[in-house]
């Protein structure tokens, strides 16, 4: 039955998620067309252009395009997360919730299906948009330098190898732990964020009126509390490590500590709120 719940959730969210990805891809394609157009190259080499307005127009369009593209990616991610939160509230705690909770499945299975589905979609959005941004950046560098994207990638790879080699020689540390921690944050954070969002919406059900608004307030409050807890933990680790001599190795260790505490706090709050959501749905459900 859990498999059917996953299938149902993916089907219900695929239209909006797919549409947002298509919009992001279309805007990325438009950005790529601009980067290979004479308008962009006219901005790079204005002396070769007969019309003196082309460089100015190119610079303005480039700046506005960069702002619009960045805002679009952020807006799509935030908008999709808001959509998932609204859909969770509607399917769990509004009139539609009466139908949801009559299904012959455990409350924990329903929550697991919703959290995993939302987390997978947010992960897909994150990966897709990261690749789109990386593609445009590589294409832009390639057009500015007048070389292929492959040449730019090789150049970046060689530069990073030299940099990492210098760090290892100077500090004796490898950046493997930092890379693993960043990968864990990249893949775990979307699921933790969704669990925290759904948990905040569940906390909002304790209000007799304006439960949706209370869910938003609860989410903001939880985020503030997470920042405070992370800040206290990071401060304690920083004081402990800086009690000795400060060097580049300690700086890298502090960075790893920050990644670890951020991930730890997110997972801790996500688990607590998920367990609490199960308790509310099982024992204290109050539908509108």
Query: pLDDT tens for residues 143-160?
Result: 777 777 777 777 777 666
Residue 251 confidence (pLDDT) = 52
Residue 248 confidence (pLDDT) = 46
- The reply to whether 32 and 140 lie within a common domain is yes
- The reply to whether 136 and 177 lie within a common domain is no
Residue 194 confidence (pLDDT) = 96
Residue 19 confidence (pLDDT) = 94
Q: Domain span at residue 234?
A: 173-288
- The reply to whether 2 and 132 lie within a common domain is yes
Q: Please give the tally of structural domains in the chain.
A: 2
- Rounded CA gap, 128 and 190, in Å? 13
- The reply to whether 252 and 129 lie within a common domain is no
How many CB atoms within 10 Å of residue 50?
Answer: 6
Positions of the chain with pLDDT under 70: 39-63, 65-66, 158-179, 238-257, 284-288
Residues 6+ apart with CB under 8 A from 98: 287
- The reply to whether 60 and 199 lie within a common domain is no
How many CB atoms within 10 Å of residue 138?
Answer: 16
- Rounded CA gap, 193 and 160, in Å? 31
Length of the chain (residues): 288
Q: Cα dihedral angle (234, 227, 183, 111), rounded to 10 degrees?
A: 140
Nearest residue to 207 via CA among 280, 134, 266, 140: 280
- Rounded CA gap, 193 and 187, in Å? 11
- The reply to whether 108 and 192 lie within a common domain is no
* 111 touches 281 (CB < 8 A): yes
- The reply to whether 183 and 55 lie within a common domain is no
- Rounded CA gap, 78 and 97, in Å? 24
Nearest residue to 114 via CA among 224, 273, 266: 273
The pTM is what?
A: 0.81
């Amino acid at each position: 039955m859990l498999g059917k719940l996953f299938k149902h959730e993916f089907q219900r969210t695929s239209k909006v998620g797919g549409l947002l990805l298509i919009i992001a891809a279309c805007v990325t394609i438009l950005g790529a067309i601009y980067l290979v157009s004479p308008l962009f190259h006219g901005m790079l080499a204005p002396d070769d252009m007969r019309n003196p307005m082309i460089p100015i127009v190119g610079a303005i369009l480039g700046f506005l395009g960069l702002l619009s593209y960045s805002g679009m990616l952020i807006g799509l991610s935030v908008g999709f997360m808001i959509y998932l939160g609204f859909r969770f509230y509607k399917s769990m705690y509004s009139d539609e919730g009466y139908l949801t909770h009559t299904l012959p499945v455990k409350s924990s299975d329903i929550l697991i299906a919703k959290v995993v589905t939302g987390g997978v979609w947010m992960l897909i959005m994150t990966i897709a948009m990261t690749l789109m941004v990386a593609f445009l950046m590589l294409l832009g560098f390639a057009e500015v330098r007048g070389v292929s994207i492959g040449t730019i990638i090789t150049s970046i790879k060689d530069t990073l190898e030299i940099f990492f080699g210098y760090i290892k020689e100077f500090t004796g540390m490898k950046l493997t732990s930092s890379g693993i921690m960043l990968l864990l944050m990249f893949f775990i954070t979307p699921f933790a964020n969704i669990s925290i969002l759904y948990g905040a919406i569940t906390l909002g059900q304790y209000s007799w009126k304006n439960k949706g608004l209370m869910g938003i307030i609860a989410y903001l409050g939880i985020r503030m509390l997470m920042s405070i807890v992370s800040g206290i933990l990071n401060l304690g680790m920083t004081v402990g490590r800086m009690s000795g001599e400060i060097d580049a190795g300690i700086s890298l260790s502090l960075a790893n500590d920050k990644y670890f505490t951020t991930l730890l706090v997110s997972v801790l709050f996500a688990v607590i709120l998920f367990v609490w959501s199960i308790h509310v749905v099982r024992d204290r459900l109050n539908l509108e």
